[in-house]
């Protein structure tokens, strides 16, 4: 299988990084909770979730972060490294919702000297949004390091 | 409603290390990727990962928090964490609000992670989309078995009073 390999020089600020949609069955939602060892009944017990004020069982934060980060590396290919995520929950993604995840490049830069673990890396910030038929689910700014033709990708 | 003096006194406190119940494993990585439908070969393909700059399979960095979730049985005896000691009367249900992750070093199969948790802030009682509650912010520093810091997490959760079912 051939994987994408996005190089830093070829990225433009404002460019689209694509999107995907996924049917979020109760199996997928409870499976995501199980895979992240989250035993909160709001992710597997429909009656409990509804009594807690939700429409149904909903995707947990670790699974949600995984769903957004997937778009970033699907776009960059495996040579792109996720360095930082700033993740906000806006609503919920419940059983039988269709989740759509989309994103764009908002910033392209080289990590400054004072930027600690980002110093010297060829970076992009991605704005990744997700929503269901019911509205916004979560969004994130994902900072990635990309391989550069000029070198410097560690 | 402001928080109690006793709760206020917990702000700034940091826990002793809490250890992951298991080492990082390839099956656990695969189970996560299955639910996300993430085909990144660094997470699953031995041959690809061996020839990559990592020299072997790595965990998705975004799994950082999952490795240290407590086992469900037998229930572990934890060191005290300041978040669990908060009184916060009248609220009973947790929900995540936002999270910042920084990833410093790859996490690999065989690693055993631990973390410390520091209570940064507790808001007054506020009205939210799910009910009245307090926002609680903590910082977690994750280390591997060599003591290297692999990542940092700043997480805000809401502890709220669930609405009565109609």
Residue A2 falls inside a structural domain: no
Residue A24 falls inside a structural domain: yes
Q: What confidence category does residue B165 fall into, taking pLDDT thresholds of 50, 70 and 90?
A: very low
Residue A99 falls inside a structural domain: yes
What kind and span of H or E run contains A85? strand A81-89
Residue B144 Cα, gap to closest chain A Cα (Å)? 17
What pLDDT does B166 receive? 41
Instruction: Give the domain range for residue A26.
Output: 8-145
What is the number of domains present in chain A? 1
Task: Identify any residues that bridge with B121 across adjacent strands, giving them in sequence order.
Answer: B137
Burial of B1 per CB tally in 10 Å (0-12, 13-18, 19+): exposed
Q: Write the pLDDT tens digit of every residue in B27-36.
A: 999 999 999 9
Mean pLDDT score across all residues of chain B: 93
Q: What confidence category does residue B111 fall into, taking pLDDT thresholds of 50, 70 and 90?
A: very high
Share of chain B above pLDDT 90, in %: 79
Q: Do A37 and B66 touch (CB under 8 A)?
A: yes
Q: Write the pLDDT tens digit of every residue in A8-32.
A: 999 999 999 999 999 999 999 999 9
Quote the CA–CA distance of A58 and B42 in Å, as a whole number.
Answer: 28
What pLDDT does B163 receive? 67
Residue A112 falls inside a structural domain: yes
What pLDDT does A154 receive? 47
Residue A150 falls inside a structural domain: no
What kind and span of H or E run contains A89? strand A81-89
Residue A54 falls inside a structural domain: yes
Q: Write the pLDDT tens digit of every residue in B45-56.
A: 999 999 999 999
Per-residue pLDDT at B138 exceeds 70: yes
Set of chain A residues whose Cβ sits within 8 Å of the Cβ of B63: 36, 62, 66
Best to test chain A binding among B18, B27, B36, B52 (most A CBs inside 10 Å): B36
Overall average pLDDT of the B118-132 stretch = 92
CB B24 within 8 A of CB B56: no
Q: Quick one: angle between helices A61-76 and A26-35, nearest 10?
A: 90
Q: Would the ipTM clear 0.85, i.e. be above it?
A: yes
Set of chain A residues whose Cβ sits within 8 Å of the Cβ of B104: 117
Looking up residue A24, the CATH number of its domain turns out to be: 3.10.129.10
What pLDDT does B131 receive? 85
What pLDDT does B80 receive? 81
Quote the CA–CA distance of B79 and B73 in Å, as a whole number.
Answer: 17
Kindly give the parts of chain A with pLDDT less than 70: 151-154
Set of chain A residues whose Cβ sits within 8 Å of the Cβ of B52: 78-79
Overall average pLDDT of the B66-95 stretch = 87
Select from B105, B111, B148 the least CA-distant residue to B24: B111
Concatenate the DSSP letters of all residues of A97-154 into one string: EEEEEEEEEEEEEE--GGGGGGTT-EEEEEEEEEEETTEEEEEEEEEEE---TT----
Q: Do A89 and B96 touch (CB under 8 A)?
A: yes
What pLDDT does B129 receive? 81
Quote the CA–CA distance of A17 and A20 in Å, as a whole number.
Answer: 10
Concatenate the DSSP letters of all residues of chain B into one string: -PPPHHHHTTTT-BPPPEE-SS---HHHHHHHHHHHT---GGGT-HHHHHHSTTSS----GGGHHHHTPPPSSSPP-PPP-HHHH---TT--EEEEEEEEEEE-S---TT---EEEEEEEEEPPPEE-SSSEEEEEEEEEEEE-TTS-EEEEEEEEEEEE-PPPP-
Overall average pLDDT of the B42-66 stretch = 98
What pLDDT does A151 receive? 64
In chain B the domains, ranked by start, together with CATH numbers, are: 5-23+76-160 (3.10.129.10)
């Amino acid at each position: 299988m051939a994987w994408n390999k996005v190089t830093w020089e070829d990225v433009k600020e404002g460019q689209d990084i694509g999107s995907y949609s996924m049917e979020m069955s109760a199996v997928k939602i409870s499976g995501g909770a199980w895979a992240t060892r989250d035993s909160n009944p709001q992710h597997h017990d429909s009656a409990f979730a509804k009594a807690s004020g939700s429409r149904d069982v909903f995707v947990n934060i670790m699974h949600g972060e995984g769903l957004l980060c997937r778009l970033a590396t699907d776009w960059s290919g495996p040579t792109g490294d996720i360095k930082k995520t700033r993740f906000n929950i806006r609503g919920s993604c419940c059983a039988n919702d269709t989740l759509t995840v989309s994103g764009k490049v908002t910033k392209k830069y080289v990590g400054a000297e004072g930027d600690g673990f980002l110093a010297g890396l060829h970076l992009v910030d991605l704005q990744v949004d997700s929503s269901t038929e019911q509205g916004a689910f979560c969004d994130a700014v994902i900072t990635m390091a990309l391989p550069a033709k000029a070198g410097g990708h560690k | 409603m402001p928080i109690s003096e006793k709760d206020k006194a917990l702000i700034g406190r940091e826990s002793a290390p809490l250890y992951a119940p298991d080492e990082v494993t390839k099956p656990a990585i695969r189970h996560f990727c299955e639910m996300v439908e993430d085909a990144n070969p660094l997470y699953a393909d031995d041959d690809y990962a061996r020839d990559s700059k990592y020299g072997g399979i790595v965990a998705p960095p975004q799994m950082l928090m999952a490795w240290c979730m407590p086992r469900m049985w037998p229930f572990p005896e934890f060191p005290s964490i300041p978040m669990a000691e908060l009184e916060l009367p009248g609220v009973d249900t947790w929900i995540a609000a936002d999270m910042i992750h920084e990833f410093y070093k790859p996490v690999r199969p065989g690693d055993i992670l631990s973390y410390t948790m520091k209570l940064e802030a507790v808001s007054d009682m506020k009205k939210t989309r799910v009910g009245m509650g307090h926002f609680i912010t903590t910082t977690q520093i994750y280390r591997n078995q060599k003591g290297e810091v692999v990542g940092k997490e700043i997480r805000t959760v809401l502890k709220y009073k669930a609405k009565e079912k109609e």
